[in-house]
C-alpha cells in the first residue's frame, strides 16, 4: 500500500462511527508499524485532517470543515439548484423539505437541503448522509436511470436485502419496477424510509446522463394527501429547470 493510500485508509477508519483512534489502534487496523503510523498521523494533523483528542487519540480535524465550505461555494449543481429548491417549496408544501442528492459509490448521498418555513424532522437526509441505492424516492429515481448493466450489478450486490425490504424476488421484477420509474419521470414512495413520510423525486440530467435527483419530502396530514399528485409536475419541472441550466456547464461526474 502506497503512502497516499495509507493516509486515505486512516481517514476511512472513521467511517464506522468510532470518533477517536490512537496511533496504536490505527497501526493494528492497517497492519503498519507504530513509527510509520505516527508519521502518517502527524502529516494528517499538520494538514488539519486529524486533531489530537483526549487519551492520546486523534479525531477528525477542522480541515474537513474548511474544504466542505469550499465545495459548497464552488459546486455548480448546488448553486444552480438552491433558488429552484426554495421556489419549489413555495409552490408545494412550506412544511416540507427539498433535498438534492447525487450518486456516491454504491449509495445516494444528500449534498444539499432546503427546509420549509416551519421546519420539522421531515427527512432522514442531511448533507453527507448516504442511503442505499434502492430505498426511497431519491435513490430510486437515480437508480432507475442507470445503464442496465450497472443496475444489475447493484441488484446482485444487494439481492438478499432487496428481497427482504422491497419484496422483489428476482432480477426481472426489480428491473421492471425501475424501468417504470424511468418512463414515468419521477418516483413516489410512502413510508419507505420512515413512517408517515412521503418522498417525491425527479432526476436531474445533463445531456443523456442523470447526475442527481431533487426530492420533496413531507409528512402530510390526511387532508393534504390528496394534494400529492398535484406536486408531481412541479417537482418534475424543477428538475428540468436545473437540468437545462446545467446543460452548458463543465460535466459533473458522479463518484
Does 38 share its domain with 94? no
- How many structural domains is the chain composed of? 2
Nearest CA-CA partner of 42 in 69, 17, 6: 6
The pLDDT of residue 84 is: 96
Count of helix runs (H) and strand runs (E) in the chain: 10, 9
Does 57 share its domain with 174? no
In angstroms, the CA 255 to CA 212 distance is 11
Task: Give the model's confidence band at 193: pLDDT under 50 very low, under 70 low, under 90 confident, else very high.
Answer: confident
Query: What pLDDT digit, counting tens, does each position of 77-126 carry?
Result: 999 999 999 999 999 988 889 999 998 877 888 899 998 776 555 556 67
The DSSP secondary-structure symbol of 56 reads T
The pLDDT of residue 197 is: 82
Does 159 share its domain with 44? no
Does 240 share its domain with 143? yes
Query: What pLDDT digit, counting tens, does each position of 36-51 carry?
Result: 999 999 999 999 999 9
Question: Between these two residues, 210 and 106, which has the higher pLDDT value?
Answer: 210
Query: What pLDDT digit, counting tens, does each position of 146-155 carry?
Result: 888 888 988 8
Average pLDDT, the chain: 87
Does 151 share its domain with 54? no
Does 157 share its domain with 94? yes
The pLDDT of residue 255 is: 52
In angstroms, how far is CA 203 from the centroid of its own chain?
Answer: 13
Q: What angle do CA 99, 220, 165 make, to 5 degrees?
A: 65
The pLDDT of residue 232 is: 95
Indicate which CATH number applies to the domain containing 95: 3.30.450.40
Last residue of a domain, one of 36, 65, 94: 65
Task: Give the model's confidence band at 250: pLDDT under 50 very low, under 70 low, under 90 confident, else very high.
Answer: low
Q: Using a cut of 0.85, tell me whether the model's pTM lies above it.
A: no
Mean pLDDT, to the nearest integer, of 220-239? 85
Indicate which CATH number applies to the domain containing 23: 1.10.10.10
Q: Is 255 within the bounds of a domain?
A: no
Length of the chain: 255
Domain that holds residue 238: 75-246
Question: Is it the case that residue 54 has pLDDT exceeding 60?
Answer: yes
Task: Give the model's confidence band at 198: pLDDT under 50 very low, under 70 low, under 90 confident, else very high.
Answer: confident
Does 109 share its domain with 157? yes
Last residue of a domain, one of 17, 38, 65: 65
Q: Is 252 within the bounds of a domain?
A: no
Mean pLDDT, to the nearest integer, of 184-209? 87
The pLDDT of residue 158 is: 87
In angstroms, the CA 215 to CA 235 distance is 7
Does 117 share its domain with 226? yes
Does 40 share its domain with 118? no
Does 152 share its domain with 114? yes
In angstroms, how far is CA 70 from the centroid of its own chain?
Answer: 18
Q: Is 224 within the bounds of a domain?
A: yes
Amino acid at each position: 500500500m502506497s503512502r497516499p493510500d495509507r493516509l486515505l485508509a486512516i481517514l476511512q477508519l472513521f467511517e464506522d462511527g468510532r470518533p477517536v483512534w490512537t496511533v496504536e489502534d490505527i497501526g493494528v487496523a492497517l497492519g503498519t508499524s507504530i513509527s510509520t503510523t505516527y508519521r502518517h498521523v502527524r502529516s494528517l494533523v499538520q494538514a488539519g485532517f486529524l486533531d489530537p483528542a483526549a487519551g492520546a487519540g486523534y479525531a477528525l480535524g477542522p480541515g474537513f470543515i474548511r474544504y466542505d465550505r469550499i465545495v459548497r461555494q464552488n459546486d455548480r449543481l448546488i448553486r444552480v439548484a438552491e433558488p429552484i429548491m426554495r421556489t419549489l417549496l413555495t409552490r408545494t408544501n412550506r412544511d416540507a423539505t427539498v433535498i438534492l442528492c447525487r450518486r456516491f459509490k454504491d449509495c445516494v448521498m444528500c449534498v444539499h437541503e432546503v427546509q420549509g418555513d416551519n421546519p420539522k424532522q421531515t427527512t432522514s437526509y442531511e448533507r453527507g448522509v448516504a442511503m442505499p441505492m434502492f430505498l426511497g424516492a431519491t435513490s430510486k429515481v437515480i437508480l432507475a436511470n442507470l445503464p442496465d448493466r450497472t443496475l444489475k450489478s447493484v441488484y446482485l450486490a444487494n439481492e438478499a436485502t432487496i428481497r427482504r425490504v422491497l419484496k422483489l424476488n428476482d432480477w426481472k421484477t426489480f428491473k421492471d419496477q425501475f424501468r417504470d420509474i424511468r418512463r414515468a419521470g419521477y418516483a413516489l414512495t410512502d413510508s419507505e424510509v420512515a413512517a408517515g413520510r412521503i418522498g417525491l423525486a425527479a432526476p436531474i440530467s445533463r445531456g443523456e446522463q442523470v447526475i442527481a435527483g431533487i426530492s420533496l419530502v413531507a409528512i402530510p396530514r390526511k387532508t393534504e394527501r390528496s394534494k400529492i399528485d398535484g406536486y408531481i409536475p412541479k417537482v418534475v419541472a424543477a428538475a428540468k429547470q436545473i437540468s437545462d441550466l446545467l446543460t452548458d456547464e463543465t460535466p459533473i461526474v458522479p463518484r
